[in-house]
Amino acid sequence: MIKHLWLFAVVCYITTGCSTSQRTHNQDAEIFNNGAVVTAHPLASAVGVEILQKGGNAIDATVAVQFALAVVYPNAGNIGGGGFMVYRGKNGEVASLDFREKAPSSASRDMYLDKENNPIVDLSLYGQLAAGVPGSVAGMDEAHKKQGSLPWKELLGPAIRLAKEGFPITTQQASEFNRYKERFQQHNKQGAAIIKETEWKEGDLFVQEQLAETLERIAQYGRDGFYKGPTADYIIAEMKRGNGIISHKDLEDYQAIWRTPIVGYYKNNKIISMPPPSSGGVALLALLQSVENYPLKQWGFQSDSTVRAIVEAERRVYADRATHLGDPDYYKVPVAELTDATFNKNRMAGVSLAKATDSEQVKASTFPGYESEETTHFSIVDKDGNAVSLTTTINGSYGSCVWVDGAGFLLNNEMDDFSVKPGSPNMYGLLGGKANAIEPGKRMLSAMTPTIIEKDGKLKMVVGTPGGSTIITSVLQTILNVLEFDMTAQESVRAARFHHQWKPDHIDVEEKAIDTKTRASLEKDGYKINKRGAIGRVENIVVLPDGRLQTGADPRGDDKAMGY
C-alpha cells in the first residue's frame, strides 16, 4: 500500500538512512551492505530499495525508479522526456543506452527563426512545438528486455499507486508548483492536476489519476501502451491543440539505441561514460585528461592553482564541444581525437596559470575530415555489484509546461537543445553549430554525463547529476573530490562547486565556492567571477575497499540515499 511506502520513506528520512543490515556513519556518508539507491526524491529512493529487497537487480530498480520519478518529481522525472543510461554488470561488462528524445519528422533547421533569421526564443522553450519525440518509456522497455529479472508489471506497481492514491509534496515542490502556476495555466487551458485554485502547501496530497491510467496502460502493453493506442492519441490531440508537430508515426518509429560507452583512464581509474549524442562522456574524459598531469592533490581543493587549471581545461573542452559534438547518426563526431590523452595534454601545454586566457582567443580544435538546467539523475548498485548511472530530463524545469490532457504528464522542451541558429546560445548559454543543427529524426546534443568508475577491475563509483551545461563540470569536480581530495561520497556532493563553459567568459561560483582570497587573486589575473545559485544536484555511490556502498545525496534538493 502507498501508506506503508510513504511511512517507510518518512522514517528513513527522519533517521537519515534506511537499512535492514549494518549501517554506519562516516562524516554523514551512509554505508550499506547489500544495495544502494540515490535519487532526487525520498519516495523514488524508497521504491528502488523496495525492488532490490524483493530480489530485483539494478535494472529492475532503475525501471521502477524512473517511473516513480515521473510521478513524484514532475519537474524532471518523466515519461514525456528522455535520457541516457550507463550500465556495468557484476562481471565488468559495460553498456550504454540512448533514449534521448528526437526531432519530429516535420522538424526543420530554421523552424524557430523569424523572417529576419533571428531566434524566436519562446518557441523552442514553451508550448507543443518545443517538444521532441519522448524516449523514456522505450528506454525502460529496452533495458528491461535485456537485463530485467522481475515482471514488468511489478516494476510499475509502485508508480501507479503513487499516482492513483497521491503523495504529500515537499516544501520545495510546493514552492515550485506555485511559482510555475501562471505558466501552467497559459499552456494548459484544459486544466492539469498540477494546477490548483489555492496555493500549494507542504504536505498537500498530489493525486494524478490520468497519469495512473497512462502508467497502467504501459504496465499492460509495454512500450505500445505509450507509443500506440489511447496515450499516443492524447499526445497527438495535444499537438493539434497547440502548434506541435509530433505525429503518430514519429511515436511508433521511436527506438532506444544501445551504444558503445566512452571508456578511458584517469590515473589508473577506468572511466565509463555516455557517448554522443551526449557530450558528457567525451567532455568529461577530455577534462580529466587535461588536468591529469597537474598536482591537484598537492595544490588542494579549490586552491588558486587548482581552480585555474580546471577553468582553463573547461574553457578549451567547451569550445570543442560547441563545434564538434552532435548526433553521431547524422554527423561525423571526432570522438577518438577528442578523447585522446596526448591531444588533451598538448591542448593544455601552452596554458599559463599566471593569467586568464581570453575565451575569444580559444578556438575549437580542427581535425582532418571533420566539419565544422532541468534534469534528474539517480545511481543504483545492487547486492551482486550490478551498477546503473542514469540521467533523465525534460530539459527546462517542467519542460514545455504542456500537460498532456487525458494522459497526465508533461512534455519536454528538448528542441531547445539543438543549435536553433549557429552562434546563438540555448537556455543554458551553450553555443552550437552545424553538428547540432535541427534535422528530422535527429537526437539533440546533451550535456548529461551518467558515469561509472572502476579500479583494478572492481566497481569504484557511480555518479551523475542534473544541471544543464553545468552537468559535466559538476561530475568532474565530484570525481576529483573523491579521487584527489579524499572526500567521502557525501562530502563529494555537498562540496561547493564552480563552472566555466568557454562562453560567456566567466567563472560561475556558488556562494561557498572558492574562498575570498582566491577569488581576489583570480580577478587580479583576469578571471571574471559570476555569483550564482546552486550548481547541480549530484548523486554518488562509492564502493569501499571492503565492498560496502558509501552514498552521497546532494543537499541542494530533496535528494535521498537509501539502501539495505
Cα separation of 360 and 379, whole Å? 38
Residue 418 DSSP class = S
- Please say if 375 is a catalytic residue: yes
Q: How far apart are CA 227 and CA 223, in angstroms?
A: 6
CB neighbour burial string for 257-279, b if at least 16 within 10 angstroms, e if fewer:
bebebbbbebeebbbbbbbbbbb
Q: Following DSSP, what letter does each residue of 188-235 receive, concatenated?
A: -TT--TT--SS---TT-EE--HHHHHHHHHHHHHTTHHHHSHHHHHHH
Q: Please tell me the distance from the alpha carbon of residue 109 to that of residue 87, in angstroms, as a whole number.
A: 34
Q: Which residues contact 138 (CB under 8 A, 6 or more apart)?
A: 99, 223, 226, 227, 254, 255, 256
Q: Evaluate whether 99 touches 142 at the Cβ level (below 8 Å).
A: yes
Place of cell 530533496: 558
**Rg for the chain (alpha carbons), in Å?**
22
Beta strands in 267-413 (DSSP E): 269-273, 375-381, 387-393
Distances (CA, A) of 30 to 16, 22, 43, 464, 478: 8, 10, 17, 18, 17
Angle between helices 152-165 and 2-15 (to 10 degrees): 80
C-alpha 314/C-alpha 257 separation (Å) is: 29
From the candidates 357, 375, 376, 449, which is the catalytic residue?
Answer: 375
Can you tell me whether residue 15 is helix, strand or coil? Answer: helix
Q: Helices 471-483 & 280-291, crossing angle to 10 degrees?
A: 40
Residue 560 near residue 502, CB atoms below 8 Å? no
Q: Cβ distance 450 to 259 under 8 Å? A: no
* All three cell numbers of 359: 575565451
Q: Is 450 in a helix, a strand, or coil?
A: coil
Q: Other CB atoms closer than 10 Å to residue 195's CB: what's the count?
A: 16
3-state secondary structure of 130: helix
- Cα angle value 406/206/47 (rounded, 5°): 100
Contact 447, 469 (CB under 8 A): yes
Active site residues: 375
